[in-house]
Amino acid sequence: MTNWPLMLLALAAMGSCAGFLAGLLGVGGALVMIPFLTFLLHHLDLSTDMAVKMAIATGMSTIVITSLASTRAHHQAGAVRWDLFKGIAPGLVLGSAVSSLWLFAVIKGSVLALVFSFFTAFSATQMLLDKKPKPSRQMPGPAGQSLAGGIIGLISGLVGAGGAFISVPFMAWCNVPMRQAVGTSAALGFPIALANAIGYVVSGWSVTNTPPHSFGFVWLPGFFIICVCTVFTAPMGARYAQRLPVAKLKRGFAYLLYVLACTMLYRGLSAFQ
């Protein structure tokens, strides 16, 4: 029997932490949520495959709300490059649609757990390496930006992250200042999350073994509680990004991501046994 008060408290704590991290670092909110959501959904007697899919879809859907609050804070600080947003967003939406409407429905949850583990470890490694780009490198033109957006959207739809774990390193690699890369990635979180959320609902509409109070692959209790918490904590994180030693925080967060990657790797591999 599910202990609902404890479940709701865990969701609120998780949403608060994830929102703060998303605002502070520009990456990591969904990456933190999905392993914990998978764990919580297991307590609703879901298989590993279904728990992973529901966790990815629910975590990504919350970014629709989180990104608005975070973007507002970054925009007020002058950290959003709207010219880059216009170039990357169309590809993001297309890649997200292909991923959430088609690939997400046909790929097993255990495989998605392995994909999530790989790209979480990739994100952590990028944070630790913190490589400096060549001074002459610049962002590509509109076609190149749209292509990059398509790739980011496709991968993000499979792992349930807002894309910042790829878009921030990509823009920094193209000599966009880190503060602007984080702010622009926060803004890009909205179209990528909205396109994926719609896809998760449509692709999961006819699935019958989802838990009660689900909307396609999106678990509504988790969605609403996490959204309420992140609306308050994401702007707080964005404000503290201007004050705290973010470089040191990113190193510590990278180690946390490695732990989460190993957790999801274990869950994915155990489903094959």
State residue 117's pLDDT score. Answer: 87
DSSP class of residue 257 equals H
Three-class SS of 27-63? CCHHHHHHHHHHHHHHCCCCCHHHHHHHHHHHHHHHH
Rg (CA), the chain: 17
pLDDT at 246: 66
- The number of distinct structural domains making up the chain is 1
For 129, the domain range is 4-270
Q: What is the pLDDT of residue 27?
A: 61
Question: Residue 230 carries which side chain, given as an amino acid letter?
Answer: T
Cα dist. 166→53, 75, 182 in Å?
21, 20, 11
Q: Which residue has the tokens 């878009």?
A: 167
> What confidence score (pLDDT) does residue 243 get?
75
The pTM score is 0.83
What is residue 239's three-state secondary structure? helix
Coarse DSSP helix, strand, coil percentages of the chain, rounded to the nearest 5 percent: 75, 0, 20
The residue length of the chain stands at: 273
**What confidence score (pLDDT) does residue 77 get?**
83
CA pair distance 191, 196, nearest whole angstrom: 8
Write down the pLDDT at residue 28. Answer: 57
Task: Tell which residue, 162, 149, 168, 151, has the closest CA to residue 91.
Answer: 149
Q: In the prediction, which pLDDT does 7 show?
A: 86
What is each CA distance from 117 to 37, 95, 102, 173, in whole angstroms?
15, 20, 21, 23
C-beta of residue 72 within 8 angstroms of C-beta of residue 128: no
Look-up: residue for tokens 């429905």? 105
Query: Which residues are CB-contacts of 176 (< 8 A; sequence separation ≥ 6)?
Result: 81, 84, 139, 184
With residue 214 as reference, give the H or E element that holds it. Answer: strand 214-215
Torsion angle, alpha carbons of 213, 215, 216, 221, to 10: -60
**Phi, psi dihedral angles at 131 (to 5 degrees):** -70, 145
Q: What is the DSSP letter of 219?
A: E
Please measure the distance between the N-terminal and C-terminal CA atoms of the chain and give it in whole angstroms. 26
pLDDT along the chain (273 residues), means of 10: 80 87 69 85 84 90 82 85 95 91 84 86 80 79 92 86 78 85 86 91 87 90 90 79 72 79 82 63
**pLDDT for residue 74:** 80
pLDDT of 95 reads: 92
